[in-house]
Structure 1
Amino acid sequence: MSEIQRIPHASHWGAYTLLVRDGKIVGTEAFAGDPAPSPIIHSVKDWADPTHRIKQPMVRRSWLDNRETSRGEDRGREEFVPVSWDKALDLTASEINRVRRDHGNASIYAGSYGWTSAGRIHHAASLLKRMMNLVGGYTGHVDTYSIAAGPVILRHVLGSDDACSGRANTLDTIAEHTETLVVFGALAPRTAQIESGGLGRHTLELHLKKLTERGVKIVLVSPLRDDLPEWVNFEWMPIRPNTDAALMLALAGEIVAAGKHDRDFLERCCSGVDVLLDHLAGKGDGIVKNAAWGESITGVPAEAIRALAKRLPDTRSMLTVSWSLQRAHHGEQPFWAALALASIAGHIGLPGGGVGYGYGSLGGVGAPIGVAKSPAMPQGGKPNPDFIPVARIADLLLNPGDTFTYQGRSYKYPDTKLVYWAGGNPYHHHQDLNRLRRAWAKPETIIVQDPMWTATARRADIVLPASTSIERNDIAGARRTTHIMAMHKAIAPVGEARSDFDIFSALAERLGVGEPFTEGLDEMAWIRRVYNDTREDARLRHQHVMPDFETFWREGIAEVPVREDVTYLADFRENPEAHPLGTESRKIVLGSKTLAKLGYDDCLAHPAFIPPAEWLGDERAKEMLHLVSHQPLGKLHSQLDSSEYSQSTKRNGREQVRIHPDDAEARDIRDGDAVRLWNARGQCLATAQVTDSVRSGVAILPTGSWYAPADESDNALELSGNPNVLTLDVGTSKFGQGCAAHTCLVAIEPYRELNVA
């Protein structure tokens, strides 16, 4: 037996060492400098399992025979024909050229979206966009499924989206100075396991422990009690989903009514204050925004609201708002309302005070802020302007030529003839999957490049098998991490899989742009270049010395320069005139002239509670539950769904849906029962987990289970527990157009066919 090789590597869950013997991964060791490594790293070996891998290029049979005239409705129903790499690449390049020539580059949707690899060189979506930019452009996307409405509104009212992209108060200053911490949504190690581009150190638990040791008053506002670890001492406010903006405004209204608002901060640092104060006083709608009003909407007792409102201005208070809150109908409002509440309490710009967004949503949010250039494969300039808000893909395919609005301007959806999706799985992360299936039939050609036979790959015309990160060399790192990490090739590619860089290099050659695509560099030369770019930037701008490339590649990890103990907007608070914001008033906008002029009914001129399309206050849906589809514990999105760790979080092979004992009793549901969840959009199976950790009226079903319809009918029963057959596919508002996944009512019942006594 040969000796074990130790291979440095990294993924979105952190840095680690792969233990390899005789070409097989036999173990995984976490980076010694990580205080709380993610257990998901031990599932990485399952990427080598050939069970779900695409082993060779494939083409859908009738598309191979009829090309663009084949029936899109047959995607997912037909068998595939294996072809050679040369044939597959020739077909792909020919289709790109045909659509460019006959319909224009805007008819190619290459806004590919996904987390296939933490590696920056083989980042599939970036490579696709780099190639397409060299041949005239494509229709792309803006923002992300994770966070779209939030950054849109913050760019308008704060002048940038820094506060929700990991550049607000760092967690170290919160742990040191905060006296009252209000967590809207979650602050959970479960989601902080993950960071786009990899993560050197997981530190959320360290900071939560310090807050607990200091005896900080912590309030969790969430329908799920374990959105904070059980060892944290906190008060739980089990709120109705989608009503956080109402609670924030009720708190603000109580503070103002008591005369405790920070008049000096509001006058010096904010604009539109009178618009907000008039709304709180009910001058526009006759409804005073106070604790009693807040209770009627949120279900949080008025007494608890008053007590918290009394505490917020009198102690150094910090509001953390999860990204999840803005993934809802009118999702702009809780982000804006939190900013308004923090402004009224008056602690913005003070150590441990104010507001920040996304803490715990990713591991790097709240970590020391990276200040050097991040390693990345450059995409080049985009020659054409065409785009969609990321979650509007089904609208794009179903409604060519229709108008959509975004950030106050109007645009048109192009007529999409070709979709090229690399390294992602919209049949995991998009909403209303039955609607997506109807939309997916519209393009003439769909190309999918992925390591796995995802539901998306199974509904393609051309399938190109990509290798996983353990089968190639790469480099990990991003602006929300303290380290750059080497990703050494550990095993040979599975089947005929090729690296994303090699696939796109071959396509670029066929499209006549091979040299400008590769710039004469191979995989290792690109890794060396992007590392040295970061190293030189760290030296010149920050006097930070990083090891030379050979040392980095051998040791597997290098620290980058960071800023610690950051207080967001400290300079602005001290002197707003000298440090103006990029807003309409150069100050924090609490009443917007721009939005007043636009006159949108779903994004008003001030933060407001606007009843969502579906919620527990809707009298038409008294027997339904509000479905929250949060991130899973055992995997990232749908990656590694078949791994042992992911499967251990399921029951009877299905995702578990958590419901309150009262809701279970009313429906004759027992713990462990198979249940059916359904609404007008779709239906799926899950296994019931009856627990009082979830608020009554709410069901919690994780995302990420691979889409598995019983058949290809219009409303097939989904068998694995994928909540996106149920979720609502509408934009958050005319202004933000973000994903509204958390606005979703469902019915639930025992599924008797599987519940045998």
Structure 2
Amino acid sequence: MTKKMDRRSFLRASGGIAAVATVNANAIPLVGDSLFNDKAEGISASHYGAFKTGVRNSRFEQAIPLEGDHYPSTMIDALPARTYAQDRILYPCVREGYLKNGYKSDKSKRGSDKYVRVSWETAYDLVANEMKRIYKDFGHDAIYGGSYGWFCVGSLNNPQALLGRMLGVAGGYTSRTCTYSTHAIRQITPYITGTDESSAQPTVYPVLIENTECIVFWGADLVNSNQIAWGVPDHEVYGYLKQLKEEAKKRGLKFYIIDPVYNNTGMYFDAEHIQVRPTTDVALMLGMAHYLYSENLYSKDFMHKYTIGFDEFKKYLLGESEDMVAKTPEWAAKICGVDANIIKMLAKEFVSKRTMLMGGWATQRAHHGEQPNWMLITLASMIGQIGLPGGGYACNYHYSGNGVPMPAAATGNTLSNADANAKEYASASPGLSGISVKSKMDGPWKQRKMEVIPVSRIVECLENPGADYNFDGKSYKYPDLKMAYWAGGNPFHHHQDRNRMIEAWQKLDTFVVQDAFWTATARMADIVLPTTLTTERNDITKSQSNAYIFAMKQASKPYGEAMDDFDIFVNILRRFTAEQVLAFTEGKTKMEWVKSFYNASYAKAKKSGVVMPTFDEFWEKGFVYFETPESAKKFIKMEGFRKNPVINRLGTPSGKIEIFSKKIAGYNYKGCKGHPMWFEPMEWLGSKVAKEFPLNLISPHPKYRLHSQLNNTWLRDLEEVQGREPIWINTKDAQKRGIQNGDVVRIFNKRGQVLGGAVVTEAIMEGAVRMQEGAWYDPQVPGKIGSLCVHGDVNVLTPDVGTSELAQGNQATALVEIEKFKGELPEIGIFKAPKIKGI
């Protein structure tokens, strides 16, 4: 066990093509505010942070980090470039074949057909008439409105929420549940601890800094992923990480990173790297658990008092049930690739020191992804430090703001509703809510239904209309979808097995995309509706930490003929009835909606004794800030439960941590039993598939974009290799294949093929390769199934198979082979708008 990389500065951008980059320091404006002859005083916000908008000649040309952003992300610097990108959708467009033949057009032409510019009125008519046809002929569940994505932080102009509201008013639709980020963890953990551990508030950093002796980063890259948030990040977490590192020097705090890759976080903390084979973390944990039990090192008191079902699990651990194989460190070593002596050392280290297991979401995005978090909680229970200052586990420190003391409680405090500490933590911050999918108006459309499918099963749904499937303990039928409407998302990035997806998409009569850019998804659409960006409209939002409410002021006029999502949906509903328009708007203008959101928070604050300015004062200043109470800086996850598990029982049937779940066992699922187990993944380095495809591909979150967002800006130049998404490959694996640093390579398996740029590095273990998700799909032959993606969309290669019958989640790993690309390099075409007729 050796350190693989030298210590790197936390705030220094790394150099060299093979280096792992870290978060930037405060961004320095390229030009002074004085050069902006319009005002540079407006405030807006994004998933990368809040900022002031620099405007010159009525154009948004600079994003200036807000003073409250502690460590601004480089990503906000690219927002002006994105606003005027070459691939911006400027006009409503319709696929040529669809304009001629409507829903009877040749669906195989999606992706390759030309587009025709049309008027907004024509576009509204086409969409509304098709919706009416489908409602009449097939019913409400034939329209899929499960639009998914991170488009906007605004409370009003959230495309997915507005789409659901519009479809609900119009006649109903099929929606989705769960997320691609947390599909397995959010389904399994309520059975174990009574809450969704992907959002449960963890022990705060001030407590860790004072008490923790050992921190384990397990499939988590805090330094990278804390740049972004579903709300608006203020990046306060980086100050705490800096304190944590300084504290380590004072008292010998130990850091481990368990991951196939030595990532940004490992570098920053100079952590010991435990190289584990992808998707084998459960085996590693079982080996530790077996050692703790056999050496009598585990906490009997904690297991007896706070958990249930250990006896059933113990039989499996000792090889007395299921496969009848003892899960010894030696057994685990053969699977996970970590030496048995190191497994024993880690077990002793974790139990002898105050240890925090920081699990991430990476391990659950895999086949049988329900198991890693169940086993992580089981291992933490055996260590016995849950509820103690600085000990235990958490599954979301990598997500922005988690662990930072907040003015308002996180949703995770449902773990212990009676916990006085949690109640105190939930202070009087008023929060902020967005527009609801449900209408307050009375009318016949209120009785229309909404069906739901797991978000990652959309392709399977298209392939098998009417088929039965299991999910979370129940049996369902897939609806027969005829139309899909996507607003503010890019499924032809985030969904798996791209070629299978393209074929399945041909089953739809009509596909509508509402977006600002010609993404791969927009290029597959029949009808394309251009939308405004956040800096081109007014809105309101809050920070992820609940410390701020931001006024999002329009900085520049809409580009081209782009319209606000709100206005698009109003105009579609005008093709239905005036009553339905009223049900959608509730008689309010957009600014009246913004004002109503603020005033609702204002009223809540007043009742709680929190002082807030009036709306006009807030809108003028641009933000409201809420102080964090000292009590929030003392929050310890499950502290109340540990002090009194009877009064502060968990939300499970037993009120305890369920190592064995009778409910799950009663489902009789093949892929998820009553206790955590090692299930062999469909593709891993120990499988038969590895003989043909011997490299295990992993696809973590990118550094210089949010999933696919901002890939159409100059940020991609900071990492790409000859215009291709980089793929990290170990030096030995590269030498075997004659690949050198900077080569363009072809990565392939039976599902597809992509080009990438080789980064030869010791930062990744032998046998594994790393390619970030989010590079835009750019097929060499548009619309053709099996075509080479010349840019590097990793989800061409990943399998679209559910994690198990319980969660039906998605996977982010695959087995592949790599070879040096020979011949003339294809051009990248995805970042320019397609040729459009009528212009």
Same fold (TM over 0.5): yes
Please give the range of the TM-score, normalised by the shorter of the 2 chains.
over 0.9
Query: In the alignment, which of 523, 541, 564 is matched to residue 590 of structure 2?
Result: 523
Residue 305 (structure 2) aligns with: 268
Match of 2:260 in 1: 223
Shift of 1:561: 6.6
The partner residue of 1:5 within 39, 55, 64 is 39
Equivalent residue letter for 2:361 = W
- The alpha carbon displacement at 1:170 in A equals 2.4
Which string of whole-angstrom CA distances, capped at 9 and with x for unpartnered residues, describes residues 230-271 of structure 1? 231311101101011111121121111121222222112111
User: Which of 158, 163, 167 is residue 123 of structure 1 equivalent to?
Assistant: 158
- The alpha carbon displacement at 1:422 in A equals 0.4
Q: Letter of the 2:373 partner, please give it.
A: F
* Pairwise CA distance, 1:649: 1.3
Query: Which 10-residue stretch deviates more, 680-689 or 613-622?
Result: 613-622
Question: Which residue of structure 1 aligns with residue 6 of structure 2?
Answer: none
SS in 2 for 1:231: helix
- 1-structure distance, mates of 2:50, 2:543: 13
Distance 1:109 1:317 in 2: 45
Q: 1:526, 1:366 → 2: CA distance?
A: 32
Pairing 1:312–2:370 present: no
When residues 522 and 341 of structure 1 are mapped into structure 2, their CA distance, relative to the original with a 3 A threshold, is: same
Please give the alpha-carbon distance, in whole angstroms, between the structure 1 residues aligned to 2:719 and 2:222. 17
Q: Which residue type is aligned with residue 443 of structure 1?
A: L
* Alpha-carbon distance in 1 for matches of 2:47, 2:809: 24
Cα shift at 1:4: 4.2
Residues 74-113 of structure 1: pairs in structure 2 closer than 5 A: 74-113=109-148
Distance 1:280 1:731, change over 3 A: same
CA contact (8 A) 1:374 1:479 kept: no
Distance 1:212 1:256 in 2: 35
Counterpart-to-counterpart distance in 1, 2:502 and 2:103:
18
- 1:194 lines up with 2:194 in the alignment: no
Percent identity of paired positions between Structure 1 and Structure 2: 38
Residue number among 358, 367, 371 corresponding to 1:329 in the alignment: 367
Is this contact kept in 2: 1:56–1:464, CA < 8 A?
A: yes
Per-residue CA deviation, residues 612-655 of structure 1 (Å, 9 max, x unaligned), is 00001124414521111111111111112121122221111111
Note closer, same or farther for the CA distance 1:357–1:679 as it changes in structure 2 (3 Å cut). Answer: same
Q: Distance in 1 between matches of 2:707 and 2:359?
A: 21
Shift of 1:50: 4.5
Match of 1:413 among 454, 478, 482: 478
CA contact (8 A) 1:662 1:696 kept: yes
In structure 1, which of residues 719, 732, 755 is the aligned counterpart of residue 803 of structure 2?
A: 732
> Among 72, 76, 95, which residue is 1:41 paired with?
76
Residue in 2 that maps onto 1:389:
454
Moved more, 676-685 or 390-399: 390-399
User: Structure 1-normalised TM-score?
Assistant: 0.96
Matches within 5 A, 1:391-470: 391-470=456-535
State the SS of the aligned residue for 1:288: coil
- Which amino acid in the other structure matches residue 525 of structure 2? A
Q: Confirm whether residue 256 of structure 1 aligns to residue 312 of structure 2.
A: no
How far apart, in 2, do the equivalents of 1:675 and 1:424 lie? 29
Residues of 2 paired with 1:686 and 1:470: CA distance? 33
Distance 1:2 1:243 in 2: 54
**Aligned counterpart, 1:380:** 438
Structure 1: gaps of 5 or more residues: none
Select which of 662, 667, 671 maps to 1:593. 662
CA distance 1:239–1:516, change in 2 (3 Å): same
| Distance in 2 between residues matched to 1:17 and 1:680, nearest whole Å | 48
Counterpart Cα distance in 2 of 1:77 and 1:241: 37
Q: Which residues in structure 2 correspond to 1:147-296 (within 5 Å)?
A: 147-161=182-196, 163-204=197-238, 206-214=240-248, 215-284=252-321, 285-296=323-334
Contact 2:259 2:275 in 1 (8 A): yes
Deviation at 1:187, TM superposition (A): 3.0
Q: How many residues align?
A: 752
2:310 is aligned with what amino acid?
A: V
- Per-residue CA deviation, residues 532-574 of structure 1 (Å, 9 max, x unaligned), is 2223323434x33233222222222223476443211111111
2:706 aligned partner, one-letter code: L
**Residues 755 and 133 of structure 1: is their aligned pair in 2 closer, same or farther, counting only changes over 3 Å?**
closer
Q: Is the 8 A contact 2:232 2:544 kept in 1?
A: no
Q: Where do residues 293-372 of structure 1 align in structure 2 (5 Å cutoff)?
A: 293-360=331-398, 362-369=399-406, 370-371=408-409, 372=430
Q: 1: CA distance between counterparts of 2:720 and 2:493?
A: 17
User: What is the match of residue 546 of structure 1?
Assistant: 612
Amino acid at match of 2:471: Y
* Structure 1 residue 212, shift from structure 2 partner: 4.7
CA contact (8 A) 1:656 1:687 kept: yes
Structure 2: segments with no counterpart, 5+ residues: 1-34, 410-429, 440-445, 827-839
CA distance in 2, matches of 1:157, 1:488: 44
Contact 1:239 1:299 in 2 (8 A): yes
1:91 Cα deviation (Å)?
1.3
TM-score, structure 2 normalization: 0.87
Letter in 2 for 1:729: D
The aligned counterpart of 2:834 is none
CA apart distance, 1:390: 0.6
Distance in 1 between residues matched to 2:660 and 2:200, nearest whole Å: 25
SS of the residue corresponding to residue 279 of structure 1 reads: helix
Distance 1:609 1:561 in 2: 46
Q: 1:203 to 1:465 in 2, by over 3 A?
A: same
Letter in 2 for 1:638: S
CA contact (8 A) 1:729 1:741 kept: no
> 1:385 offset after TM fit, Å?
4.6
CA–CA distance in 2 between the matches of 1:433 and 1:620?
20
Please tell me the root mean square deviation across aligned C-alpha atoms, in Å: 1.8
- One-letter amino acid of the structure 1 residue matched with residue 554 of structure 2: K
CA contact (8 A) 1:469 1:489 kept: yes
In structure 2, C-alpha distance between the alignment counterparts of 1:755 and 1:479, rounded to whole Å = 43
> CA distance change for structure 1 residues 612 and 674 in 2, over 3 Å: closer, same or farther?
same
| Match in the other structure for 2:443 | none
Q: Are 1:697 and 2:767 counterparts?
A: yes
Tell me the distance in 2 between the aligned counterparts of 1:557 and 1:718: 44
8 A Cα contact 1:199 1:481, kept in partner: no
Aligned partner of 2:581 in structure 1 is 514
CA distance in 2, matches of 1:208, 1:325: 26
Q: Distance in 1 between matches of 2:106 and 2:588?
A: 41
